[in-house]
Amino acid sequence: MTEQYDLIIVGGGPIGLACAIEAQKKNLHYLIIEKGAIVNSIFNYPLYMTFFSTAERLEIGDIPFNCLAPKPGRQEALEYYRNIHRYFKFSIHLFEKVNQVLKLDNKSFKITTDKSSYEAKNVIIATGFYDIPIEMNVKGEELPKVRHYYKEAHEYVFRNVLVVGANNSSVDAALECWRKGANVTMVIRKNEINNRVKYWVKPDIENRIAEGSIKAYFESNITEIAANEVTIETPNGKVVIENDFVLALTGYKPDLTFLEKVGIQLSDDELKTPNYNPETMETNVEGLFLAGVVCGGMQTYKWFIENSRIHANMIVDYITSK
């Protein structure tokens, strides 16, 4: 027989773990299902990434996050969330992908994965947004030299590297690759570096561009990628530059198709904001909740760990009050 749960949490990132902590406190029979490693998105961040938030703003479950530096990095965050799991001993299935969440006639849900199936009275989707890159849709984007994720600089040193975008990930990659010895060019759609770039990094990239260490084409777009060059449309016309790698760090989006497939309504505009009650986080599907970054649709900058931790309390309190 299929095991029955009070709550299934889809996604084992920090917010999914926070939901599990609240479920444990209320003695709910729960399960986390995560398609990769625990806090898989953080695991896939660049090796030397530093968070914008301070350590205490990344804490969950009232467990202190001790950090020597003013801002924690990826490695410290992984260590912290591993210790969270050691402490709470979550009921969690790792490397198991949820394929379907189906509302049954008895008002419970059937959750089907690539390994098994489950039933639950309530479901929380806390899947984040880091799995689907926003593509440029230009000729040559499918070439192996085009990367939508950046891990570290070593592969790119002494090469001609084009970084697309002007957000935190693009700026970090451009600076690190340049410092390690790459010839870095940036293509930026707007006329300036994004104002949401970390305040201690923004002057660095602006100074490197101003002095000519990093070439930047503002108000520009890539129009074609070839094996050894890239064509850029600039305000002064087309420019063709030599190129070995393209880091297309143009952002990421939630799995909106999955949200629609499980019955969640999305706004008709380009933001694709999911339909949910901001007081309970319940979607238009009764018993189906959203938590974390996925709530923002295409506005992936709206929610992050420090301001969506409260979703866990809101959801579990509502479930247990019914």
CA distances from 206 to 30, 61, 200, 201, 219 (A): 48, 39, 11, 9, 15
Query: pTM of the predicted model, to two decimals?
Result: 0.92
CA distance 23 to 8: 10
pLDDT digits (tens, 9 = 90+) for 211-267: 999 999 999 999 999 999 999 999 999 999 999 999 999 989 999 999 999 999 999
pLDDT of 193 above 90 = yes
Are 126 and 9 spatial neighbours (Cβ–Cβ below 8 Å)? yes
- Domains, the chain, with CATH or none: 4-131+252-321 (3.50.50.60), 135-248 (3.50.50.60)
pLDDT digits (tens, 9 = 90+) for 292-302: 999 999 998 88
Helix or strand holding residue 78 (H, E): helix 74-88
Confidence of residue 3 (pLDDT cuts 50, 70, 90): confident
Whole-angstrom distance between the N-terminal and C-terminal Cα of the chain?
Answer: 26
Q: pLDDT above 70 covers what percent of the chain?
A: 100
Confidence of residue 1 (pLDDT cuts 50, 70, 90): low
**What integer pLDDT is reported at residue 322 of this predicted model?**
84
